[in-house]
Amino acid sequence: MPELPEVEVVRAGLEHWVCGRTVDEVAVLHPRSVRRHAAGAEDFSMRLQERTITGARRRGKYLWLELDSGDALLAHLGMSGQLLVQPRDRDAERHQRVRIGLGAAERELRFVDQRTFGHLMVDPLIGDARGSSAGVPSVIGHIAPDPLDPAFDDEAFSALLRRKRTELKRALLDQSAISGVGNIYADEALWRARLHWARPTADLRHPQVGELLGHLRDVLREALAAGGTSFDSLYVNVNGESGFFERGLKAYGRRGLPCERCGTPIRRDPFMNRSSYSCPRCQLAPRR
């Protein structure tokens, strides 16, 4: 699943290529890709027609294009979604699901999604109770800011985390508390902070939370600079280019390989139908 860096790379590309453009054509080629737009594909297309794109924003793993109507074109990439900006005369991608013409630019925005777990919808922008000065789509108003968002409140997050009665990694994946952090970057930040994924959140001290947030921000910024993490051809930017951060991973996916700090083989544990990777020596497991 794409995480914050992968989505931010796409957002930045959209900001460059589509802001200021006016939609002159919409084609929904697969209804499942607009299934979250309750009024259906025809209404989806109508609310985009002749609308000018005024901004490209993101919260966690969601991104949206602001429209001059006060609506937003909201996208969630799911497991395999891609938003590509292509010349109109270029051959269609095999799994192209939605096509949006960008006026005189002679380019179009294409939503390509092999597994069709992602989706697009048009949703009204509302005031943001989380502290951002700009509006957010109404359906994601409950999602917390991410650690790179100026609206993110370190003190409030620290207090919330220590009030919870759960495991640390579960709390990091809770989008009502902190958004944009998924399996990969949680494991990487926990490795840097020397904290085990199953550590009870109530046992954390305030300085430990601050240090963990610092490592989260470092990991996310480094991944952004590398264009995100791409384990296969599905994770690309708007130009179809892959990221390279997987080359710098210290924990995730490194089962049996030596920890770069102490040499102990990295351990894999089952976690929420996925996996957690940690160093048994550097990240001591809590006593059960």
What is residue 176's three-state secondary structure?
Answer: coil
Give CA–CA dist 96/81, Å, rounded.
Answer: 10
Asked about 3 being catalytic, the answer comes back as yes
Residue 16 assigned to a binding site:
no
Determine whether the annotation assigns residue 95 to a binding site. yes
Catalytic residue (one of 11, 59, 61, 267): 61
Told to judge if 2 belongs to the known catalytic residues of this protein, a careful annotator would answer yes
Q: Which of 3, 6, 8, 108 is catalytic?
A: 3
Q: Does 250 qualify as catalytic in the annotation? A: no
| Element holding 217 (H helix, E strand) | helix 206-225
Closest CA to 192 of 219, 162, 161: 219
Instruction: State the Cα angle at 285 between 165 and 215, rounded to 5°.
Output: 75
To the query of whether residue 169 is one of the catalytic residues in this protein, the response is no
The token duo for 96 is 């192209």
Asked whether 279 and 261 are in contact (CB, 8 A), the reply is: yes
Residues 6+ apart with CB under 8 A from 158: 206, 209, 210
The CA distance from 115 to 131, in Å, is 35
The CA R_g of the chain, rounded to the nearest whole Å, is 20
- Report the half-sphere exposure of 38 (CA within 13 A, side-chain side): 3
Is 76 annotated for ligand binding? no
Side chain identity, residue 48: L
Active-site pick, 2, 137, 145, 147? 2
Six-digit token pair at 155?
A: 């003190």
Exposure string (b/e) for 33-71, b if CB count within 10 Å is 16 or more?
Answer: bbebbeeebeebbebbeebebebbbbbbbbbbbbbeeeb
CB 258 within 8 A of CB 280: no
Task: Indicate which residues carry an active-site annotation.
Answer: 2-3, 61, 274
Binding residues for DNA: 95, 115, 164
Binding residues: 95, 115, 164
